[in-house]
Amino acid sequence: MPEFRTEEMVLNMGPQHPSTHGVMRFVVHTDGEVMRVAKPDVGYLHRSIEKIAEKLKYPQFMPFTDRIDYLAAMNCNMGYAMTVEKLAGIEVPPRAEYIRVIASELNRIASHLISVGVMGLELGAVTPFLHAIRERETINDLMEELCGARLTYNYIRIGGVAQDLPAGFAEKTIEFLDHFVPAVDEYNRLLSYNKIFVKRMADVAVISAENAVDYGLVGPNLRASGVKWDLRRDEPYSVYPQFEFDIPVGTGEKGQVGDCYDRYMLRIREMVESSRIIKQCLAAVPDGPVQTKLPASLKVPEGEAYVRTESVRGELGYYVISDGSDKPYRLRIRTGSFSAMSIVELTSRGLMIADLVALIGSLDVVAPEIDR
Amino acid sequence: MRRYFLNIWEAISTIAKGMGVTLVHFTPARKSITIQYPDRTPVPVVETLPERSRGMLTFDPDVCDACSMCAMTCPIDCISIDRERVEGAKGFVLKRFDIDMAKCMYCGLCTEACPVKPKGLEHTREFEGATDRMEDLILEFIDEKKHRELVEKALKKAEKLKAAQNEE
């Protein structure tokens, strides 16, 4: 009987593929159904945002930070504003700090909703995605009321926020949260505890805590591997220390710690925690101005500053060097999605091809954030 | 063997649970949240948008004092302003005020920069700007007639000011 000759086959997944979350490519080396390795190839969405920053004045760059991570524009706004404030020594009014936290936590819920919805969608469950989108639509409406846009908010300014909370915003937000927390249970019944979904996610693409730290994973992906590291608690900024909230970590409830299911479940839990923060925050918003008066042409003293914040996809760092003029000399952005892509090559070894989408989905990468 | 059937049972029962959630949506307890856009909405969508909604820009030449702060603030230079000095009048008079809505990213920085009150440059709630010609997206707010009108207005204002000073 002649022996089967098996050859390695090289497959291209992407650049245009519905489950790659944007434009990116994976070069997949396969042996039958099993992958030898999948090499991510990024850079298709590079828009030179860092270079654009050098050509614009400090306040003018704010709309571009929306476009770093379009699902969490508020968090990106906030990181940039905090960096310039640190460098220029600008004080932010307390009311503005609270509004910032409310806005960015709402944005975190919206982004996680997309993330968990898409994880289901990629594994063939279309209905849960529509449920997630429905809840997110309410947040979009709230955001539109707050700042006039639904996706690219451009709301947070250097030294505060653009506008005060609109009338009735707090009531509407609380009404939404009261509806949302039970809706998460409904969502769990619909998808999270579905046996088929659990089978597809549990024990798939396990990332150990050591590997997660070594590869520089941040945010939910790191916490899912069992490392309790959240900048909101460990390196508190803004008004986060005043609030009581838990940091969920991966427990391996259906499989091993750090598998796809942990990464999925962690985001569900984080949405509930964010709701808690928003509720406490709305109850504690002080009165006062929302913006510090800045000179018409903001000149930042010479120096450099690095500020990291806990964005939706993990640690988001801005590094600004100023030469004393009204434009940054250099701006560097460090994002969570980029480091999440680096671990794909390691984790994909020995994985089934069909599980690659589960891995990419559970890492929750956003293509524009990888390339910037 | 027992595990095998248990798996099947779990799969079916959890799917049934999920289907139960879906089924609730067919009961009158849950109203449909989708709307038939664009032609079958009870009121036009534009009217349902909140006050702060950032749609197409609008410009009022009569309140503008031609300071060009908006054009300087715009990060992508989508506002083009030509202005000229008119002999006998103070300040500048607008000759051209074009906004390229195709370039505009609706960030709202220009409306924030506008120093006059009420604001000369503002976002409307109008968002349905789709067109099949790129040129239609360049909004020209000042034509020759408007320019002449503005010049006359500036001269008149200067005259008035002069008369008031003379009286004093």
> pLDDT tens for residues B8-28?
888 888 888 888 888 888 887
* pLDDT at A1 exceeding the cut of 80: no
At A2, the pLDDT band (50, 70, 90 cuts) reads: low
Average pLDDT over residues A3-7: 73
Residue-level pLDDT at A319: 92
* pLDDT at A21 exceeding the cut of 80: no
Q: pTM of the predicted model, to two decimals?
A: 0.86
> pLDDT tens for residues A231-281?
888 888 888 888 888 888 888 788 888 888 888 889 998 999 899 899 898
CA nearest B18 in A: which residue?
A190
Q: What percent of chain A has pLDDT over 90?
A: 6
- Burial label for A167, CB within 10 Å (0-12, 13-18, 19+), is exposed
Average pLDDT over residues B21-46: 81
**Chain A contact present for B52, CB below 8 A:** yes
> pLDDT tens for residues A130-186?
888 888 988 998 999 888 888 888 899 888 888 888 888 888 899 899 988 888 888
Q: Which amino acid is at A50?
A: E
Across the interface, whether the CB atoms of B108 and A162 are under 8 A apart is answered yes
Average pLDDT over residues A54-71: 88
* pLDDT at A4 exceeding the cut of 80: no
Q: What percent of chain B has pLDDT over 70?
A: 99
- CA angle (A277, A281, A284) in 5-degree steps: 145
At B145, the pLDDT band (50, 70, 90 cuts) reads: confident
Residue-level pLDDT at A321: 92
Residue-level pLDDT at A124: 82
A window 132-191, beta carbon within 8 A of B: 134, 137, 141, 144-149, 152, 154, 162-163, 166, 186, 189-191
* pLDDT at A104 exceeding the cut of 70: yes
* pLDDT at A211 exceeding the cut of 70: yes
Is there a contact between A230 and A266 (Cβ–Cβ < 8 Å)?
no
> pLDDT tens for residues A297-331?
888 888 889 998 988 888 889 999 988 888 889 89
d(CA A45, CA A370): 8
Q: Which amino acid is at A351?
A: L
CA nearest A127 in B: which residue?
B22
d(CA A62, CA A66): 7
CA distance readout (Å), A218 to A23, A231, B4? 22, 10, 38
Average pLDDT, chain A: 86
Backbone angles phi, psi at B98, to 5 degrees: -110, 140
Q: Using DSSP bridges, classify how beta strands B138-140 and B92-100 pair: parallel, antiparallel or unpaired.
A: antiparallel
Report which of A357, A355, A354, A323 is spatially closest to residue A58, judged by C-alpha positions.
A323
Q: How many helices (H) and strands (E) does chain A have?
A: 15, 8
CB-CB: which of B15, B18, B108 is closest to A148?
B108
Backbone angles phi, psi at B85, to 5 degrees: -85, 135
d(CA A286, CA A46): 41
d(CA A138, CA A132): 10
The encoded tokens of residue A193 equal 């505890």
CB-CB: which of A56, A148, A195 is closest to B53?
A148
Residue-level pLDDT at B135: 85
CB-CB: which of A66, A152, A191 is closest to B18?
A191
At A109, the pLDDT band (50, 70, 90 cuts) reads: very high
- Residues of B with Cβ-Cβ distance to A193 under 8 angstroms: 14, 17
- Residues of B with Cβ-Cβ distance to A148 under 8 angstroms: 50, 52-54, 108, 123
Handedness of CA A212, A213, A215, A218 (dihedral sign): positive
- Residues of B with Cβ-Cβ distance to A59 under 8 angstroms: 73, 109
Report which of B68, B60, B120, B71 is spatially closest to residue B91, judged by C-alpha positions.
B68
CA nearest B125 in A: which residue?
A148
CB-CB: which of A66, A190, A195 is closest to B10?
A195
Q: For residue A135, how many other CB atoms are within 10 A of its CB?
A: 20
Backbone angles phi, psi at A114, to 5 degrees: -60, -45
Average pLDDT, chain B: 84
